[in-house]
Structure 1
Amino acid sequence: MFDDAERRALAALEEEVAQLRHAVTAHATVDQAMGVVIAYSGVTPEAAWEILRDVSQRTNTKLREIAEQIRQWPHCEWLPEEVRGALEAAVRARTEGTPTAET
């Protein structure tokens, strides 16, 4: 029914669709985590993004994993101690002018 070139093209398109679905899900998770950070700290969306990135760097954890933990935080009422400490430090850095991990 399909020749080899068509099968390869179809496989490539299926892989691209899977990657795009993953990206959309990851983006939604990060956006929701940013909302939690905004509600928690009262920062701007830009600062919330920087806070998530800073927590990721401080804990040496992938951003999407940090975002998922923070997104779940209001529901489970628990954050790993390392993440909570990094979050509090990053929020202080953005709201009190304390140097971040980048400076």
Structure 2
Amino acid sequence: FVEVVPTNPKAAKMAVRGGGALQYDVYVGEGTLYELPGTETASPTDQLRELSRAVSAGKFEETIWKVGDAVAKTVGYIQLGDHAGKTRQIHGFYPLRFKKKTHIKYEPY
């Protein structure tokens, strides 16, 4: 497990677990998860390198829904080279509870 805490407080933090030829799980910002299992053309390490470069360059945005201090849902947007990626996570089940929505455009490290 490795946590990357940027010197710029307006940049997205990252935490990485896993590794090797298997898979990396990368947590970015307030709770967006990227699972990097590798592909036929890119290893998990190559994918991690591309993702971390994009995050450290400030090419990551996140929409967060919170119930109190608890993160209920996240949608992460990342610009990887010439294509964009989007991922969604549900972090808890909060039916009929008001969710405060916030959008963050993170800055470079």
TM-score normalised to the size of structure 1? 0.30
Q: Highest Rg: 1 or 2?
A: 1
Larger proportion of strand: 2
